[in-house]
Structure 1
Amino acid sequence: MPRLQLLRPDHAPALLEFEKENRAYFAASVSDRGDDYFAGFEARHSALLAEQATGTCFFHVLVGGDGELLGRVNLVDAVDGTAELGYRIAERAAGRGLATAGVREACALAGGEYGLTTLWARTTLDNAGSRAVLDRTGFLPTGEIEIGGRPGLRFVRGLRD
């Protein structure tokens, strides 16, 4: 079963390949990262590791038993016990329950090891897969929002229920 690993320097090559391979797939449901993201990937990766070292973000990669990078599950902007959850799964691994498993594992880490009490997430209304993952993992919708000019929902999940 794939497991989350906290982002490390040696994840950079696989993570860049993951993002390149899935760029069009991700852009169908979320805003594209843009060419600058890929051109400056090494510096961006280093910046993420530095931010993670401050304890305000927890960046994870979802790694299969064969070492293949299958997804990302991140907790960002951790302040006062609350953080935002974000995730993306490779197109070739979609539909196998990996997002649900990865989010469940991230929630357990957040409430345990990271000492967080609440997570929030957001997704567009037309992203049925993401909405299903949030529903299956205990997130509740709290209101309508706009994401990149598209209608969306904000969700919240308490970790000490």
Structure 2
Amino acid sequence: MDIYIDRLNERDAQALFTFECNNRRFFEQTVPGRGDDYYSLGTFGIRHKELLKEQEEAISSFYLIKDGSGIIVGRINLVDIDPVNGTAHVGYRIGEAFTQKGIANEALKLLVKLAPDLNVTQIQAKTTSDNIASQKVLVKNGFERISINEEISADSGQKLTFFHYSRNL
């Protein structure tokens, strides 16, 4: 499947809200949930505007992964961009109907190519220990696992094991 990444903007709010709602159950199988508030349109709209503000301030850079017809199939982000150290953290999620098609792998490749334009020279990532697909995507894109730790999820109170990765550009 041909995909591209498109920088998040104001007009994406409704389509992104629908994407997130449609995939909530699927996402929460492998990553900590975002809480019920996230899935109300009013709260989502406020959070969307906060993301756009972060993007304007160059703290983060958010992208929607879209197919050739412009349909959102996932999202990928660089957050906590530190221009002094050249570091940022990557996060991504692919909609349930679009998994196992190489989309996360291709989107991460595209993002890695864009990162130097954002003054990012090292990308860090973390994923839960049971998210094997994400681990494979990271390794395939040159990330190395650098540590493992346990954290209590703020939303669920569940203890989760996280694998931390890093890649120098």
2:121 — aligned with what? 117
1:145 to 2:149 alignment: yes
Structure with larger RCO (C-alpha < 8 A, sep 6+): 2
SS at match of 2:118: coil
- Aligned equivalent of 1:74, options 63, 77, 80: 77
1:157 to 2:161 alignment: no
Alpha-carbon deviation of 1:35?
Answer: 1.2
Alpha-carbon deviation of 1:27?
Answer: 0.2
Give CA-to-partner distance per residue, 1:34-80, whole Å, 9 cap, x none: 11112200111011001100011000000111110000000000012
Q: Matched residues in 2 for 1:3 and 1:146: separation? A: 34
Alpha-carbon deviation of 1:146?
Answer: 2.1
Give CA-to-partner distance per residue, 1:74-125, whole Å, 9 cap, x none: 00000121000000000000000000000111111012x2121100000111
TM value normalised by structure 1: 0.95
1:97 to 2:102 alignment: yes
SS at match of 1:22: helix
Percent of aligned pairs with the same residue? 36
- Aligned equivalent of 2:133, options 108, 129, 150: 129
Q: Matched residues in 2 for 1:41 and 1:60: separation? A: 16
Q: Matched residues in 1 for 2:63 and 2:35: separation? A: 21
The number of aligned residues is 158
Consecutive unaligned residues in structure 1, runs of 5 or more: none
Aligned AA (2:105)? T
Q: Matched residues in 1 for 2:70 and 2:53: separation? A: 24
Q: Matched residues in 2 for 1:98 and 1:16: separation? A: 20
- Aligned equivalent of 1:54, options 53, 57, 65: 57
1:19 to 2:23 alignment: no
RMSD: 0.8
Find runs of 4+ consecutive structure 1 residues off by over 2 angstroms: none
1:87 — aligned with what? 92
TM value normalised by structure 2: 0.91
